[in-house]
Amino acid sequence: MKIRSAVAVSAAFLLAACGGGGQIGDSNSGGSAANKKLVLIPGITAEPFYISMQCGFEEAAKAAGYEFDTQAPAKFDAAQQTPIVTGILASKPAAVLIAPTDDKAMAGPMKQLKDAGIKVVEVDTKLQDTSIGVSSISSDNEQGGKLAAETLNKLTAGKSGSVLVLNTKAGTSTTDARAKGFEDAIKAYPNLKYIGQQYTDNEPATAASKVTATLAANPDLIGVFATNLNSGEGAATGLRNAGKTGAVNLVGFDASPKQVEDLQAGIVQALIAQDPATIGKQGVEQALAAIDGKENKRNIETELVAITKDDAAANSKYFYKKSC
């Protein structure tokens, strides 16, 4: 299973659409009509959350007898995701499952898909405009942020100190909802002084430097909630670099192999894991319903679970994959 570069796959798509034939990307191109094709556009390439989602997507597409392909941007960025979307238009797949990297900026390109008769299913993230996608499948992200606050309260066990949230990029519907859920829930714990959220641009190095700077300005830092995979991996690095492993409670979101390794090493104290494979599978189900003219479920929320070192082995089914 590989995620090809967008340029190579788009050119191949165009060839195929014009009868150029040949294998495309990861599609199984079993010779069925061009419109029996589903395309997944994740938020970023080579990232365990979206790879796990792709595994579920491909399993469900194969079971339904559909060709499939995945095209992802190198960065979680609307300027990079937009040409992937417009490049797919010509090949006219039956449906596109997409994690929009900006809840407003991606509305235009995604509306082009809809206007071309291509069914659009939002997986993970979603647009503010609810008129474009036929269905949105994601975790209950606000609840996930609340769960992170409750978990941090348990970990700090009544001790007092400052608490930081690391968000990714404004306009990422999922991490914005997680930060909101956390901010609302942390008010219940007066011993935990919320000092606000900082943005990491979804870059681990930025997350690490934000933690180091916050520690210098707030020596009483007792907790960090990192709202996604890259921010969490970076925050762990920041705490390790500052020699604060275990002294500051780190609650991460997601469960990449690196995050699980840091959990078992005591650098991370808890992970809020999602179920990306089910998001991918449910996305295919909703795409097929739309293609077949059946009713869609507009919003579907998938499972979340808080994992600590003590119960990690029992929850290994939630660990993300680096390959299918």
Q: Which residues bind ligand T6T (CB under 6 A)?
A: 43, 47, 49-50, 124-125, 172, 174-175, 228-230, 253-254
d(CA 180, CA 178): 5
Closest approach of Cβ 4 to ligand T6T, in Å? 19
**Minimum distance from residue 47 beta carbon to ligand T6T (Å):** 5
- Per-residue CA distances from 183 to 28, 66, 69, 220, 225 (Å): 45, 42, 38, 19, 10
Least distance to ligand T6T, CB of residue 228, Å: 4
Bridging pattern class, strands 119-123 and 135-139:
parallel
> C-beta of 186: minimal distance to ligand T6T in Å?
20
| Closer CB to ligand T6T, 91 or 278, in the complex | 278
Nearer to ligand T6T, 50 or 319 (CB): 50
The answer to whether 176 and 203 have CB atoms below 8 angstroms apart is: no
Judge whether 49 and 106 are in contact, CB under 8 Å. no
Query: CB-wise, 28 or 315, nearer to ligand T6T?
Result: 315
Q: How many other C-beta atoms lie within 10 A of the C-beta of residue 216?
A: 10
Cβ 44 to ligand T6T shortest distance, Å: 7
DSSP H helical segments within the chain, as ranges?
6-17, 48-63, 78-89, 107-115, 141-156, 173-186, 204-217, 229-241, 257-264, 276-291
CB closer to ligand T6T out of 67 and 124:
124
Show the CA angle centred on residue 97, arms to residues 94 and 100, nearest 5°.
135
Instruction: Please give the distance of CA 15 from its chain centroid, rounded to a whole number.
Output: 31
Residue 88's nearest CA partner among 79, 80, 76, 96 is 96
For residue 66, the minimal CB distance to ligand T6T (Å) is 24
Residue among 69 and 124 whose Cβ is closer to ligand T6T: 124
Question: Whose Cβ is closer to ligand T6T: residue 25's or residue 42's?
Answer: 42
